[in-house]
Structure 1
């Protein structure tokens, strides 16, 4: 794995891990902690505007590993689905402006229609979005979510399903994001990671809490759960991915800490448990 310093050069702060901070505060925390990458969330950019966000990142010399998120394609009417697609186009534009070539897709679901219809709408939405993203130099990273989110966040729940969609397009346009929290349980995980060679656009780490008490804020610090993160990382690297590794943890305990405390903690866990 090389030295700790070398390995930490791949660490990216996924902004949701410090939800308590605005973008300026998160950038300062990363700079102070010598974390070279950040994954941005669109609601944080919206707070201060795209151009101010871009200036903050440029002044700090911080690299953007991805933008979260696009997707959420399904909706009950054609008009609403078009509105969702328009929002995805804006997300593509933001990603390009902010200097990242990866837009993470949380594909969406709908409580109003059956799951088969939602899957069709996801496929249709991605098909519509691919040319626009490619014209902006942005790749679409389909992130499968754990099945417990199928009703409200994504009908794409396995890496295999995500790859089946991605493989309809050139690898330089559509790939997948491997988040250990969402995929660790899958009996076909390592087979599918090998299948994903050349298409992995991101790797996210956290840990699985036992028991799950809050489906959104359910994640734990690496080393506090049951996921074999190093084994998954090794498989992802063998499949050709050697890019930034995002620490993405939705957890109220972390959100109650200062940014400096969070960064110090996740750096330590990153070295020891990733």
Structure 2
């Protein structure tokens, strides 16, 4: 496995700066975010990555597929817009030759991330998950034609209302199995799955469906904004090495991406963050046999 810098860990860096940082620190792999790629320009981002001799471990993110559960024309329009945006994301991932497009599938229809619950918000969790399955049926063949693997990312249950109605690796895997392996896989993100009593069984069941392995720690106590509760490996409660061993034993041969949402880390010197990330990867994450 190779260590990859997910661009969000050094959020202040543009694509050009993150590529330069990877080169300085001897990293051969980078995970990119769509908004940063758009700011840099897709063609320029592709050139920067290729000229530096880097690979793209993932493009984040596609998804947010559940708004089709809104009533009437609003739902139909939202579903069509989500499909169009995800097709654009797939095209971008293909241009970048990304190993996968990470899919954060979306929360309950009408529930907005970080905002108070609106009067018309849906409580139909089963229906929201059905919308995800319907969208995948449309998007998976499109992705397959372009050589892009969709990687379903289950999120910790605290994010179920507004970001991802897939809360366990098992749920994500059950959806993925309806499609060819080269079209749809799953993400194992330690922050989101460490708590799950079935995680080791589901990692084994996923096997080569594991499209991405992402690591960061789960801080305790969580900050007021729980989205920023990710920490540098070793600063929280996760025991990484058994998870890493399980991912390896399942046959995963891809990259290990460090993806951290944390205000203090974002405010720090990005070069110092990357240096710490490399050291913690070796000391905390890697499962030495």
Task: Give distance in 1, aligned partners of 2:8 and 2:229.
Answer: 13
Which blocks of at least 5 consecutive residues in structure 2 are unaligned?
Answer: 112-120
Aligned with 1:45 (options 37, 42, 45): 37
The aligned residue for residue 273 of structure 2 is 262
Aligned with 1:136 (options 146, 154, 159): 146
1:54 paired with 2:11, answer: no
8 A contact 1:101–1:137 mirrored in 2: no
CA displacement at 1:14 relative to structure 2: 0.6
**Structure 1 residues 2-41: aligned runs within 5 Å:** 10-41=2-33
The aligned residue for residue 209 of structure 1 is 219
Indicate the SS of the match to 1:197.
helix
Task: Give distance in 1, aligned partners of 2:95 and 2:199.
Answer: 34
C-alpha RMSD of the superposition: 0.9
The aligned residue for residue 118 of structure 2 is none
Q: Deviations over 1:194-248 (max 9, x none)?
A: 1101210010000010011121111011011111111100000000002100001
The aligned residue for residue 106 of structure 2 is 108
Q: Which moved more, 1:126-135 or 1:255-264?
A: 255-264
Task: Give distance in 1, aligned partners of 2:54 and 2:269.
Answer: 20
Aligned with 1:124 (options 134, 157, 160): 134
Aligned with 1:93 (options 83, 91, 94): 91
The aligned residue for residue 242 of structure 1 is 253
Task: Give distance in 2, aligned partners of 1:190 and 1:163.
Answer: 13
Indicate the SS of the match to 1:104.
strand
Task: Give distance in 1, aligned partners of 2:40 and 2:21.
Answer: 17
CA displacement at 1:258 relative to structure 2: 2.0
Task: Give distance in 1, aligned partners of 2:272 and 2:208.
Answer: 36
8 A contact 1:144–1:158 mirrored in 2: yes
Task: Give distance in 1, aligned partners of 2:41 and 2:7.
Answer: 16
Task: Give distance in 2, aligned partners of 1:258 and 1:44.
Answer: 19
Task: Give distance in 1, aligned partners of 2:99 and 2:213.
Answer: 15
Query: Matched residue pairs, number?
Result: 266
The aligned residue for residue 198 of structure 2 is 188
Report the TM-score, using the length of structure 1 for normalisation: 0.95
CA displacement at 1:173 relative to structure 2: 1.4
Report the TM-score, using the length of structure 2 for normalisation: 0.90
The aligned residue for residue 163 of structure 2 is 153
8 A contact 1:159–1:178 mirrored in 2: yes
CA displacement at 1:152 relative to structure 2: 0.6
